[in-house]
């Protein structure tokens, strides 16, 4: 009985601690520089995709103005910003592109370069990459 009680108290204490910590915390969106910071990162990353001979041809048929907007929306929503992603699902957007793991890795490298360019610390970069990692199996189809 005593042990159970202690557990409940501990749980309550840790929940309120978590709540307090969250209230003071910034979101990843904030840590990436909010609207201006994320816009710059998405644009630099997109420029890098188009300049990267390993993957640039994949974008030959793509409306890049739309791509930039959708990627921004997606990253903004994913990182806790005030946006709603209105694009296609990852499976839908990439089906027919026959992407491989090497293509995925190339795109992530280009994104990391863009994050470096904005002086985003390594730990913050990893928080973003961790959110993208689960999408790999939807994007890579061969």
Residue 45 Cα to chain centre, angstroms: 12
Q: Would you give the DSSP letter of residue 60? A: T
User: What are the phi and psi torsion angles at 37 (to 5°)?
Assistant: -65, -45
Q: How far is the CB of 46 from ligand HEM (least distance, A)?
A: 10
**Sole window of 4-12, 24-32, 70-78, 118-126 interacting with ligand HEM (rule: CB under 6 A):** 70-78
From candidates 88, 98, 117, 137, binder to ligand HEM by CB under 6 A: 88
What is the per-residue binding string for ligand HEM in 41-60, x denoting contact by CB under 6 A?
--------------x--xx-
Size of the site for ligand HEM (CB under 6 A): 22
Q: For residue 74, give the 3-state DSSP assignment.
A: helix
**Sole window of 5-13, 26-34, 68-76, 114-122 interacting with ligand HEM (rule: CB under 6 A):** 68-76
Is 83 a residue that touches ligand HEM (CB under 6 A)? no
What are the CB-based long-range contacts (under 8 Å, 24+) for 108-111?
108/132, 110/45, 110/48, 110/49, 110/52, 110/55, 111/45, 111/48
Q: What dihedral do alpha carbons 26, 46, 67, 106 form, nearest 10°?
A: -100
Q: Which residues are near ligand HEM by CB under 6 A?
A: 55, 58-59, 61-62, 66-67, 70-71, 74, 87-88, 93-94, 97, 99, 103-104, 107, 132, 135, 139
């Amino acid at each position: 009985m005593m042990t159970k009680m202690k557990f409940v108290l501990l749980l309550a204490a840790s929940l309120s601690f978590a709540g307090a910590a969250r209230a003071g915390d910034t979101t990843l969106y904030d840590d990436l520089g909010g609207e201006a910071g994320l816009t710059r990162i998405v644009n630099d990353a997109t420029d890098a995709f188009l300049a990267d001979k390993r993957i640039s041809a994949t974008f030959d048929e793509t409306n890049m103005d739309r791509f930039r907007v959708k990627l921004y929306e997606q990253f903004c929503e994913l990182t806790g910003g005030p946006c709603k992603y209105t694009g296609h699902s990852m499976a839908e957007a990439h089906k027919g592109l026959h992407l491989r793991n090497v293509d995925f890795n190339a795109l992530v490298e280009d994104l990391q370069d863009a994050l470096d360019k904005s002086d985003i610390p390594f730990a913050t970069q990893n928080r973003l990459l961790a959110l993208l990692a689960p999408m790999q199996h939807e994007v890579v189809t061969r």
